[in-house]
Amino acid sequence: MKAVTWHGRRDVRVDTVPDPVLKEPSDVIVRITSSGICGSDLHLYEVLGPFMTEGDILGHEPMGVVEEVGSEVTALVPGDRVVIPFNISCNSCFMCARGLQSQCETTQVREQGTGAALFGYTKLYGQVPGGQAEYLRVPFGDTLPIKVPDGPPDDRFVYLSDVLPTAWQAVEYAGVAPGSSIVVLGLGPIGDMSCRIAQHRGAETVIGVDIVPDRLDRARARGVEALDLRTHGNRLADVIRDMTAGRGPDAVIDAVGMEAHGAPVARLAQQFTGFLPDVISEKLMQKAGIDRLKALYTAIDVVRRGGTISIVGVYGGAADPLPMLQMFDKQVQLRMGQANVWHWIPSLLPLVVDSDPLGVEGFATHHLPLAEAPRAYDMFQKKENGAVKVLLRP
């Protein structure tokens, strides 16, 4: 089959690789019909190379049609249409039973000290082949895939794999309530969808911040008060306080995380690790990290006293300083983590099956053949041609 594979920094290719096969009686094989490129895929493209192996198959936002089922699978049959959550969870262990599928005890990558395994995402999360491919082996066939109806286009459902549950959890963790105010830092796919969900859930004031004109315009078109960081610079916090009764918003969502496109310091650190043996570079990346914490510092500054910060952007270091005095003094509440996909599916399915209040059918900016994945990654990383969300079609 054809699959998108990693070959080095800013080097992804479409290779011919062996077709996946059933390994366990609970597995299913899915023929992929759509697969998204996620902002966190850009971390693999740019800065997380020490945790990758040449030939790794990328992608964790797939959907498709069941082709083959293992002997123990009873919930699915060939021909069923399914979306595959990005975190691999059994839905029966202690953590899954508490709605913490991202911490699934059955698939935790204990040798790395991380949570549930992820499709297509580094040694840190199990090095499981991903879904930017023609076919995908999916474990836990009875409990992991999300069955969706035939008829509506893939664009209606594919975001159940990651974008929708991640943004929904970000808004939930932010404590958004009718009449509340919220700032979303970063208007990429997750930030954009977080704004839409906050509006849907009754937030009175939704303010988005970014530096990319196309993304700012896209948010404004849906009623978001979008601020260009390039214009406001160091006055951003004051501007936002002026818009929120002088005290700041009730909540801030950090949808930026570490710089996927690489600041000078981040680029230097990443390039330096490229000269080191893997075992050393992995430790350097894990402990020192290469995060730019400007977005998080901004969130801490902007949020009102007693407010909540919800972190959904991916951070990669383990030794970053935080302004603990300021956080303690302001009584900031901090919530974060990988989305627990299945926990939010009952709330999300009616929003994509019955109608489209979040505008998912028009959410993708680009649909490209799988063969054009290298160009798609380059365009998305450079934020060219209005690229906000790219879907690949095998």
Give yes or no for a contact between 82 and 146, defined as CB atoms under 8 angstroms apart: yes
- For 318, list phi and psi in degrees, rounded to 5: -125, 15
- The answer to whether residues 383 and 236 belong to one domain is no
Q: Over the stretch 195-208, which tens digit does the pLDDT of each residue have?
A: 999 999 999 999 99
Give yes or no for a contact between 360 and 164, defined as CB atoms under 8 angstroms apart: yes
- The answer to whether residues 154 and 225 belong to one domain is no
CATH number at residue 49: 3.90.180.10
- pLDDT category at 295 given cuts 50, 70, 90 is confident
Q: Is residue 18 part of a domain?
A: yes
- Within 10 A of 294 (CB to CB), how many other CB atoms are there? 13
- The answer to whether residues 224 and 312 belong to one domain is yes
**β-strands 28-37, 135-138 pairing:** antiparallel
Q: Range with the lowest mean pLDDT among 10-19, 180-189, 312-321?
A: 312-321
Q: Over the stretch 146-197, which tens digit does the pLDDT of each residue have?
A: 999 999 999 999 999 999 999 999 999 999 999 999 999 999 999 999 999 9
- The answer to whether residues 202 and 55 belong to one domain is no
Looking at the 3D structure of the chain, how many domains does it have? Answer: 2
Token pair listed for 200? 């849907």
- The answer to whether residues 29 and 108 belong to one domain is yes
- The answer to whether residues 328 and 190 belong to one domain is yes
What pLDDT score was predicted for residue 280?
A: 47
- For residue 320, give its domain range: 164-257+292-336
Q: Is residue 327 part of a domain?
A: yes
Token pair listed for 275? 């000269």
DSSP 3-state assignment of 107?
coil
What pLDDT score was predicted for residue 263?
A: 43
- The answer to whether residues 82 and 119 belong to one domain is yes
Q: Is residue 178 part of a domain?
A: yes
- The answer to whether residues 198 and 218 belong to one domain is yes
Q: Is residue 273 part of a domain?
A: no
Give yes or no for a contact between 184 and 358, defined as CB atoms under 8 angstroms apart: no
What's the rounded Cα separation, in Å, for the pair 7 and 74? 38
Q: Is residue 168 part of a domain?
A: yes
What's the rounded Cα separation, in Å, for the pair 295 and 319? 17
Q: Is residue 275 part of a domain?
A: no
From residue 231, give the alpha-carbon distance in Å to each of 77, 192, 226, 236, 361: 54, 20, 11, 9, 32
* Sign, CA torsion 189/190/195/201: positive
- For 64, list phi and psi in degrees, rounded to 5: 175, -155
CATH number at residue 197: 3.40.50.720
- The answer to whether residues 131 and 28 belong to one domain is yes
Taking every pair of C-alpha atoms in the chain, what is the biggest distance, in angstroms?
62
- The answer to whether residues 225 and 361 belong to one domain is no
Q: Is residue 314 part of a domain?
A: yes
Q: Is residue 130 part of a domain?
A: yes
- The answer to whether residues 299 and 199 belong to one domain is yes
Q: State how far Cα 310 lies from the chain centre.
A: 14
- The answer to whether residues 227 and 122 belong to one domain is no
